[in-house]
Amino acid sequence: MTQLQIWLIVMVFMVVFELITVGNLISVWFAIGAFFAMLTSMWTDNILIQVIVFGVTSLLSLFLIRPITAKALRGNSISTNADRLIGRQFKLSEAIKEDQWGTIKVNGVDWSVTTVDQSEIEKNETVEVLALEGVKLIVKKV
């Protein structure tokens, strides 16, 4: 088996692996590196040079192209009005217990709340919203 065939097999394997892990951008960079190593194998039989070309082009494509493709794949994120709650402070309507979420009322709507570390916070304490996780808010005591 020639070096060109080995690099072709590596490239095809990396492309197939990328297709199996759709959208994760894991191995496409190594497929690009294998492609350039395969081209290099047409000009030289020196395996060290081919491996260096493989490594350098894989890393360059990872660091230069990945941010662009990741942004393109992510698409337009749609902000919701709930994002505006982050950073705001509210009084607890129901206490946060070790094994039970609390609630806060925002514009007449009850929201389930919990803390990052599941610490307890008493009713009527002021909390600040840190994050939105699914349908509940993550808060901390002020």
What is residue 37's DSSP assignment? Answer: H
Residue-number span of the structural domain to which 98 is assigned: 84-141
Inside any domain, residue 79: no
Inside any domain, residue 125: yes
Final residue before a domain boundary, out of 74, 96, 124: 74
Task: Note whether 62 and 102 are same-domain residues.
Answer: no
- State whether residue 64 is helix, strand or coil: helix
Beta bridge partners of 92: 104
Q: What is the pTM of this model?
A: 0.52
Question: Would you place residue 12 in the very low, low, confident or very high pLDDT band (cuts 50, 70, 90)?
Answer: very high
> Distance between CA 113 and CA 95 in Å, rounded?
9
Which of the two residues, 77 and 122, has the higher pLDDT score?
122
What mean pLDDT comes out for the span 60-66? 89
| Residue 68 pLDDT > 90 | no
Task: Note whether 63 and 111 are same-domain residues.
Answer: no
The CATH code of the domain that includes 118 is: 2.40.50.140
User: Is the CB of residue 123 less than 8 Å from the CB of residue 117?
Assistant: no
CB within 8 Å of 21: residues ≥ 6 apart: 27
Task: Note whether 61 and 90 are same-domain residues.
Answer: no
